[in-house]
Amino acid sequence: GIGLPGRVWESGRPAWISDVSLEANFPRAEFAAEAGLKAAVGIPILAGDTVVAVINFFLREARQEDERMVALISAVAAQLGTTFQRKQSEDALRESEAVLSSAQEVGHIGSWVFDLQRNVTTWSVEAYRIYGVPPGTPPTYETFLACIHPEDREYVDRSWQEALTGAPYDIEHRIVVGEEVKWVHERAELQFDAEGTPLNVIGTVQ
């Protein structure tokens, strides 16, 4: 047979063995016998629906009252699985963010999101680089306008205000980075909820 750990891996549920000496090739069965431990329990650690590890421990005997202990350890294992899944998600997010950042750098395309509900703007790393603003600087609307060439500022501001009412935002204008004047192309679209309320503005700058 596949043994206790294998059964737990396959089923994703705790499993008992009342006498480990009756199971061939059970891990550390000799140690258990010497210590007077007869029964064994396997408990899965789940990340979502996937078993990522199995906790095995020995008991002197299989008793019904030990089911509480198994339930408690299962609860702890569930927390471990949730932590593991969150760590995996965070790692995947960091990896995808790194890939996106590299792609934006190659294409010289920055992105930004304006959360209309919270009045918070987020810039990508490449957007900071294009505008010549130090990364980590709060990207407020005033920060953005300060980057615009003085002769284009009124046009950009008017276009942005119109965009907030649903007008297309697809413009070209100049920005000033240090002593250099650059032309950029900006596009943005509003996102709405099911009731038609605007939630975010998502834009790019190239």
Residue 200's CB is within 10 A of a number of other CB atoms, namely: 19
pLDDT at 11: 73
Q: Which of 28-37, 152-161, 186-195 has the lowest mean pLDDT?
A: 28-37
Average pLDDT value over all residues in the chain: 76
Cα–Cα dist 49/45, whole Å? 10
Distance CA 57, CA 149 (A): 69
- For residue 30, name the pLDDT band (cuts at 50, 70, 90): low
Whether 61 shows a pLDDT value over 60: the answer reads yes
Please give the residue that has the higher pLDDT: either 37 or 143: 143
Contact 155, 173 (CB under 8 A): yes
pLDDT of residue 165 exceeding 70: yes
Position with higher pLDDT, 185 vs 196: 185
Q: 57 vs 102, which has greater pLDDT? A: 57
Distances in Å between the Cα of 203 and the Cα atoms of 56, 114, 128, 134, 143 are 52, 8, 13, 19, 16
For residues 163 and 200, give the distance between their C-alpha atoms in angstroms, rounded to a whole number.
12
In this structure, what token pair is assigned to residue 115? 């959360």
Mean pLDDT of 6-20: 73
Under the banding of pLDDT at 50, 70 and 90, the label for residue 97 is: low
| pLDDT of the residue at 204 | 83
> For residues 182 and 174, is the Cβ–Cβ distance under 8 A?
yes
Q: What is the mean pLDDT of residues 15-24?
A: 69
CA quadruple 58, 59, 64, 65: dihedral sign = negative
**How many Cα atoms are found within 13 Å in the side-chain-facing hemisphere of 183?**
2
Beta bridge partners of 63: none
Asked if residue 110 lies in contact with residue 130, where contact means CB atoms within 8 angstroms, the answer is: yes
Lowest mean pLDDT of 71-80, 113-122, 190-199, name the range: 71-80
Tell me, what's the pLDDT at 157?
A: 93
Give the three-class secondary structure for 50: strand
What's the rounded Cα separation, in Å, for the pair 47 and 101?
28
**What is the band of 77 on the pLDDT scale with cuts at 50, 70, 90?**
low
